[in-house]
Amino acid sequence: MAGYFKSVKKGFKLKNYISYIVITVFLIVSAVMALTGYMNRSTQNLLTQIAYSIILAVSLNLVVGFLGELSLGHAGFMCVGAYLGCFLANYLHTIIPSKLAVLIISMIVGGAIAAVFGFIIGLPALRLKGDYLAIVTLAFGEIVRTIFKNQKIFGGALGLSTKKYGSDLFIVAFIVVLIMLVFIQNLVKSKHGRAITAIRDNEIAAKAMGINVTYYKLFVFVISAFFAGIAGVLYGHYATPVLYSFFSYNYSIEILVMVVLGSMGSINGSIIAAALITYINFQLTTKLSGDLAALKYLIYAIILIAIVIVNNAPALAPIKEKLSIKRLFNKVLGRFIKHKHDPAKRKDDEADWDRIPTKIDMDALLSLDVKPDTSYTPDKREEK
């Protein structure tokens, strides 16, 4: 036991735990405020929205940032969780009096069913890559939505009416966020996370190194869908009715905007971006009405384009390098602390896990083609 704590202590870096600390403190403060009546309902609702957005963004980041595959069907997994989890919850309410117990059970079941769908959609991911996979996930989301829309038992076009949990739902939601962070951060910072990033960096080499690519791709899709399903159940307890139109691919893209804004492969970034976008969204929806609501999407669009171009344009790389905050920081810091950033002098484990730029050289893969070159044929040789 003592050895265990020793090893925990050895690997301890404040940076890895900062998100837990910040969220816990935030949760305690806001819970106290809410329970003593210092926080109004609307703010509590906002917090619930932020919580499930964080769950969605972080779980999508696992697929996009770490596995390097684009999924446009995240809202589809959420849809599955929301409909089925809340359907179960509606039934459970009749036999279990405790609403918290109902919520927990339905979250687990809704997540598990979404995970099954994650497995199913992970299967094409084994054969398809890049654009094709993106379009398949998009198609999946739309298929799911259409099916729920046409089922009478789920309320059809009117949506599934659910029982709202109450405004203190955000407390439960943030606890779920914490649990999810434990799972996903620990996964990413382990040998399995390494295998997943290895697949992203170079799938062929990963296979040659004996990494079971099939297993890990499915695993990532399952975990990601599981948490998206849970977010769906939370959503269903927050808003009623659960309506198919909410889960359109526009919503999947909204989650993608959070991931991109927070920088792909950075979990802390996803958390901040999810909170920020949800907040802006919340403010805009109350302030903008009618056609001005499009302004929201305009902002998303600009965020997406600007961030991706600035981060990825090859021509901008040297400029970015020059202007990078980290570099500036090091320059200032370097005067006081010598060798801190000399890689050879770095302590183990200090290498950056987060903020690894996603780069799949699909272009190179596509442009390469094994073509029979006639000059090599054995027949030619005989002619000589």
Partner 1 sequence: MSTFIDGLSLGSIYALIALGYTMVYGIAKMLNFAHGDIIMVGSYAILTTLALNGHPLIAILAAIIVCTVLGVLIEKLAYKPLRGASPLAVLITAIGVSYLLQSVAQLIFGAQTRPISLVHFEPVVIGGVTISLSAIISLAVGALIMICLTLFIKFTKLGRAMIAVSEDRAAAKLMGINVNMIIMVTFAIGSALAAFASTFYVMQIPNTSPTLGSMPGIKAFTAAVIGGIGSIPGAMLGGVLMGVVEKISLSIPVLAPYTTALEFSLLIIILLVKPTGLLGKKRREKV
Partner 2 sequence: MSEKYMLETQDLGISFGGLKAVQGIDLKIRKNQLYGLIGPNGAGKTTIFNLITGVYTPTTGRFFLDGEDLTGKKQEVINHKGIARTFQNIRLFNNMTVVSNVMVGLHNQKEFACSPFASMLRLPVHFESETKMRDRAKELLSIFGLEDERNNLACNLPYGKQRKLEIARALATNPKLLLLDEPAAGMNPNETEELMNTVRFIRDKFDMTILLIEHDLKFVSGLCDEVTVLNFGTSLYHGEVEKALHDPEVVKAYIGK
Contact letters for partner 1, residues 110-129 (x by CB under 8 A): -------------xx--xx-
* Closer of 320 and 346 to partner 2 (Cβ): 346
Kindly state the helix (H) or strand (E) to which residue 295 belongs, with its residue range: helix 294-312
The structure tokens listed for 96 are 């279990």
Q: How far apart are CA 81 and CA 113, in angstroms?
A: 7
DSSP assignment of 261-290: HT-TT-HHHHHHHHHHHHHHHHHHHHH--G
261 binds partner 2, rule: CB under 8 A: no
315 binds partner 1, rule: CB under 8 A: yes
Contact letters for partner 2, residues 137-176 (x by CB under 8 A): ----------------------------------------
Q: How far apart are CA 38 and CA 32, in angstroms?
A: 8
Judged by CB under 8 A, which of 142, 162, 177, 235 binds partner 1? 142
Phi, psi dihedral angles at 242 (to 5 degrees): -80, 115
Q: How far apart are CA 191 and CA 209, in angstroms?
A: 13
Shortest Cβ 196–partner 1 spacing (Å): 15
* Coil/strand/helix, residue 346: coil
Answer with the entry of partner 2, partner 1, none that 383 interacts with (C-beta below 5 to 8 A by kind).
none
Query: Which residue is it, tokens 């957005």?
Result: 53
* Closer of 105 and 128 to partner 1 (Cβ): 128
Judged by CB under 8 A, which of 33, 104, 147, 280 binds partner 1? 147
- Axis-axis angle for helices 169-188, 99-127 (nearest 10): 40
Q: How far apart are CA 105 and CA 86, in angstroms?
A: 10
Tell me whether residue 189 is exposed, middle or buried, using C-beta atoms within 10 angstroms of its C-beta: 0 to 12, 13 to 18, 19 or more: middle
CB 42 within 8 A of CB 34: no
Shortest Cβ 360–partner 1 spacing (Å): 5
Judged by CB under 8 A, which of 7, 150, 283, 324 binds partner 1? 150
370 binds partner 2, rule: CB under 8 A: yes
Answer with the entry of partner 2, partner 1, none that 11 interacts with (C-beta below 5 to 8 A by kind).
partner 2
14 binds partner 2, rule: CB under 8 A: no
Contact letters for partner 2, residues 336-365 (x by CB under 8 A): -------xx-x-x-xx----xxxx------
Residues in contact with partner 2 by CB under 8 A are 3-4, 7-8, 10-11, 182-183, 186-187, 190-195, 197-198, 200-202, 204-213, 219, 343-344, 346, 348, 350-351, 356-359, 370, 372-373, 375-378, 380-381
